[in-house]
Structure 1
């Protein structure tokens, strides 16, 4: 392995999405990632389907959900509820740089796998905890899921059609963005702790939560409230601070206009055939357009329905006006720019064959992202990990399988 994080070992005790997303990023960047799973069932998302990707012989399958967040990992199926299982994990911790977990607060303490218990044997350990609500506070003991946090963290209150419009009501984002953002923040925290360890030799406990991340990710909407006292409302596809910045109907569908400054607006007016709008005091500046959006937006809609999406996009791009079609996901993966960037990739799996994956968006000149392995079958690498990292013999591994400490599918 030759990635930026080559030489580091990650023990991934997390499941579902936020933790696995972070661990997948670390794996993409070259770290060795050992995914610890419950024998027999594994990560919950292995069964979150359909759809599933099935092997040619039909004997093995992985859910699309699991496939989205678990490449570049090895799977170790081990029962951490047992004394021997806990001891094996502790031995792996002593040989690791990073532990990533998303158990409930205190959930690993009873197994002796919490940070305070593990740092004594590995002072340089970076231990990252992800929870729903944080390590303290009145909600600390509650479980957290993305949908719940999108609601409690305010995101759904600003997502969806405005009150009084058809289909009005709070709506969640179409993917688990709170989980994904939490995975990104966790990764940033781990990298910062690695830099600190490089300077001092000291590890530390990094923690974040879905609720903390969701509130932090309210970005301009949070500041809109904190600076004005006005509670942001659902606005459909409209933007609270920029006009025009939303979806507009065309003769055969919809397109998005993202006009970020007054010069772009003037060019838009020319293409729409209404150059006079750019000089109208009601629309001349973004501040005026925000104040008078109810007068301007219907006028733009009346103009955009006269031509097809492709016609408008071609003309507006030529004029330097940011715009684009509202693509379905199949069109995303056939888009010429997406194809040129090589975002869709294939990984080979020894049982499932060719496994599709969505590439990491980072690009490096010296240490490129390494797509080493497809998401693993449950326990696929148990024997390999315990033999290579801990030096266990085949007989010792076989005995652990017989005792139920390791999954029967251990290899």
Structure 2
């Protein structure tokens, strides 16, 4: 891709053609773009489904980039093509010729109906990696009975098991706050595509990479699987504490909550001393790891009474750095945190029509090839001309394509 941005990152030699929309797929390709991959986002004339939804600042005079889209589509390029038209499909095939991967999260069968299946694209580029993310996977790797079911985050959370083990009590399964039913599959898609590209660069052989949202969520619920197999139990919600480690969870403070993980003997002794109650540590119910496990509900009550006598700041002074400890932080506290500032996890990006907006930074740090948020998310179709020219189309062909693929203004 030719533009004013200098190449950067460990993936600067990789080109991804990105058909994904919403959160799951775009999060996966974002991870690759954050480390320098050229990610070309192919959008229909109406754009990604998240574009018109914003949300936008009240003073935004252009309303072309909302917070949602800015966050997960930064570092990408946008090309506007209607794949339902012959010109759009032919232009797409041009892009595939020198791409390392095509990534999509349509429902099963959509690309086949468009005449752009993995098998068709593989004939154009045998080393192509084709990444697919769907609710229940693809028949190429395992035909789920739910193959044709649509799915979003909350469905993946429910059927992948995470909701069944999350909640305040056994009777109240609860959705996890962030969209982990999208984000976890997106992370696994990014990893899978990158692993397949590594293989293709060594062998010249591409392959189909299939991630089911439900599978990805189940994979991070691995503990409940072996608990059932080893212990014969059906795990349920455990509230804000661990089912067999104690203390290991959330405790009250005067002005909020903190987390403590002091299940080891040395940490527990330090915890009791710093809370000013060494006698608690000598209590025969709690003076061993097994005792704390057996009497964990009583210990949680005892510790809650003691931590509740201090503010979060006071507990941080007493416990921070001495045992595994951290205050529960809302966004105002995160924004004020010296840690997140030092780690460059709060990044301002240009936002046409208003002042810069803040989005999350790049969590994977590298010393030789650091990733970064290099540029804002693209305006719909912003790079169509340059991308098609780079792909080998002539000016007249590009003009014809762009006449037929005018981005919709929302």
Which TM-score tier does this pair reach, normalised by the shorter chain?
A: over 0.9
- Mapped partners of 1:204, 1:306: distance in 2: 59
Q: 1:305-336 deviations in whole A, cap 9, x for unaligned?
A: 22222112211126x12222211112111111
The answer to whether structure 1 residue 230 and structure 2 residue 233 are counterparts is yes
Gaps (5+ residues) in structure 1? none
1:128-277 matched pairs, under 5 angstroms: 128-135=131-138, 136-163=143-170, 169-277=172-280
Please give the secondary structure, in 1, of the residue aligned with 2:244: coil
TM-score (norm 1): 0.92
Alignment partner of 2:29 out of 9, 23, 32:
23
**Deviation (angstroms), 1:262:** 1.6
Whole-angstrom CA distance in 1 between matches of 2:303 and 2:116: 60
- Which sits farther off after the overlay, 283-292 or 127-136? 283-292
Equivalences for residues 27-106 of structure 1 within 5 A: 27-39=33-45, 41-49=46-54, 51-53=55-57, 58-106=61-109
**Counterparts in 2 of 1:349 and 1:308: CA distance versus 1, 3 Å:** closer
Does residue 13 of the first structure (1) align with residue 19 of the second (2)?
yes
Answering whether residue 337 of structure 2 is matched by residue 332 of structure 1, we say no
Cα deviation 1:243-289 (Å, max 9, x = unaligned): 11122122232221122422101111112233233333422233321
Q: Counterpart of 1:397?
A: 398
CA contact (8 A) 2:28 2:186 kept: yes
**Whole-Å separation in 1 of the counterparts to 2:86 and 2:400:** 15
Q: Judging changes above 3 Å, is the alpha-carbon distance between structure 1 residues 98 and 406 closer, same or farther for their aligned structure 2 residues?
A: farther
Contact 1:28-1:370 at 8 Å conserved across structures: yes
In the alignment, what sits opposite 2:363?
A: 361
* Equivalent residue number for residue 407 of structure 1: 407
Is residue 185–residue 213 contact of structure 2 (8 Å, CA) maintained in 1?
A: yes
Check whether the contact 1:10–1:97 (CA below 8 A) recurs between aligned residues: yes
After superposition, the Cα gap between the structure-2 partners of 1:392 and 1:285, relative to the gap in structure 1 and judged at 3 Å, is farther
C-alpha distance in structure 1 between counterparts of 2:58 and 2:103, whole Å: 29
Q: Deviation of residue 25 (structure 1)? A: 1.1
Compute the TM-score of the two structures, normalised by the length of structure 2: 0.92
Structure 1 CA distance, aligned partners of 2:144 and 2:344? Answer: 44
Q: How far apart, CA to CA, are the structure 2 residues paired with 1:231 and 1:92?
A: 49
CA positional deviation for 1:53: 4.3
1:390–1:408: structure 2 CA closer, same or farther, 3 Å change rule? farther
Q: How many residues align?
A: 399
| Aligned residues: CA RMSD | 1.9
Contact 2:56 2:63 in 1 (8 A): no
Q: Secondary structure at the match of 2:78?
A: strand
1:384 aligns to 2:386 (yes or no): yes
Counterparts of 1:287 and 1:42, CA distance in 2: 57
For structure 2, which runs of at least 5 residues remain unmatched after alignment? 1-6
Cα gap change, 1:321/1:391 in structure 2, threshold over 3 Å: closer, same or farther? same
User: 1:223: Cα distance to partner?
Assistant: 2.0
Distance in 2, matches of 1:64 and 1:34, equals 20
SS of residue paired to 1:385: helix
Q: How far 1:149 moved relative to its partner?
A: 1.2
